[in-house]
Amino acid sequence: MNFHQLHIFYTVAERGSFSAAASALHMTQPAVTMQIQSLEEYFGTRLLIRSTKKIELTEAGITLLPYAAKSIALVKETDNAMASHTHMLQDRLQLGSSHTIGEYFLPRLLGPFGQQYPHISIMMKVMNTTQIIEEITKHQLNFGLIEATIHHPDMVIDPVMQDELKLIVPIGHPLAERESVELEEVLAYPFVLREKGSGTRQVMESVLIHKGIDPQSLQTAMELGSTGAVKSAVEAGFGITMLSPASVKHETALNLLTIIPIRDAEFKRQFYAIHLKSTLLPLSAVTFLNFLKQQQEQQGE
């Protein structure tokens, strides 16, 4: 018996068929069947009842299932415990990142990570959440980083970083000289917004709804498909917006845009890492995600 066999058994039991487990594990169906047979030979008993419809667990399989789950959890816990001690890992991580995270958060963290773990190379694709999920399920990415939680039966969702949207206005705007404003004052001006479905837009609208404000009541000057386009439109005077301060560092330094705190509303959001439940992340990926969490903790101190 080995851990690999327990992992396969757990995935077959969870997915309900050899074919579904093979797809999730990126294996051939005969290879999955062979490993289950080896496990059954080791224990000297049947673990699964094979039928034309769905796999069912025998009494022995039902007994084994929680132990298989514990073994998987223990391996994950072990990787987390050892991640901070591994500095000579050699691996190539393939990850997907949503636009705000990939364009404005990760670039400043990849340098320090590379210095600490020089033998881990990272290949990052910046794309939307739907594309990230699709590529993870096809085993083309190890994991993804997204801006809003999702509900997906095959995914593990793990919080890794936090952010807070702030009011962004152009220099010369009536609010630009204010130290802070009330939310009601802000609603009197036209907005330049990200497209519907973006993580930034979702966070903004959920806070407004919580405050009893219908997002449809906003004066929307335009909706744009990228943060860069939103910033350019705000600079040009088409309206104000809500963005992460990390995304406007360059513009605020050049005195093109300014950040105004809203006193009576907080637009906080959580960033998440996602990966397949059926896939154990490589130790290098665990190390990278722990690094992100540590950076977040240090910023909060």
Q: What's the mean per-residue pLDDT of the chain?
A: 89
Backbone angles phi, psi at 52, to 5 degrees: -75, -20
Phi-psi region of 172 (alpha: psi -120 to 50; beta: other; left: phi over 0): left
CB neighbour class for 146 (10 Å; exposed up to 12, middle 13-18, buried from 19): buried
Alpha-carbon torsion 255, 260, 261, 267, what sign? negative
The C-alpha angle with vertex 24 and arms to 22 and 25, in degrees rounded to 5, equals 65
Gap between the Cα atoms of 262 and 158, Å rounded: 29
Structure-token pair, residue 91? 């691996």
Residue 278 or residue 53, greater confidence: 278
Amino acid at 169: V
Q: Is the pLDDT of residue 282 over 60?
A: yes
pLDDT digits (tens, 9 = 90+) for 239-273: 999 999 999 999 999 999 999 999 999 999 899 99
Joined together, the tokens standing for residue 216 give 């449809």
Whole-prediction pTM = 0.70
Tens digit of each residue's pLDDT (9 = 90 or more) over 151-205: 888 898 999 998 999 999 999 999 999 999 999 999 999 999 998 878 788 889 9
How far apart are the C-alpha atoms of 168 and 281, rounded to whole Å?
Answer: 38
Mean pLDDT in residue range 136-163: 88
> For 41-61, how does the pLDDT look when each residue is reduced to its tens digit (9 = 90+)?
989 999 998 876 678 899 999
The pair of structure tokens assigned to 213 is: 């404000």
What's the whole-number mean pLDDT along residues 208-216?
94
- CA distance linking residue 133 with residue 152, whole number of Å: 9
Q: How far apart are CA 33 and CA 296, in angstroms?
A: 43
Give the 3-state secondary structure of the chain.
CCHHHHHHHHHHHHHCCHHHHHHHHCCCHHHHHHHHHHHHHHHCCCCEECCCCCCEECHHHHHHHHHHHHHHHHHHHHHHHHHHHCCCCCEEEEEEECHHHHHHHCHHHHHHHHHHCCCEEEEEEECCHHHHHHHHHCCCCCEEEECCCCCCCCEEEEEEEEEEEEEEEECCCCCCCCCCECHHHHCCCCEEEECCCCHHHHHHHHHHHHCCCCHHHCCEEEEECCHHHHHHHHHCCCCEEEECHHHHHHHHHCCCEEEECECCCCEEEEEEEEEECCCCCCHHHHHHHHHHHHHHHHHHC
Q: What percent of the chain has pLDDT over 70?
A: 96
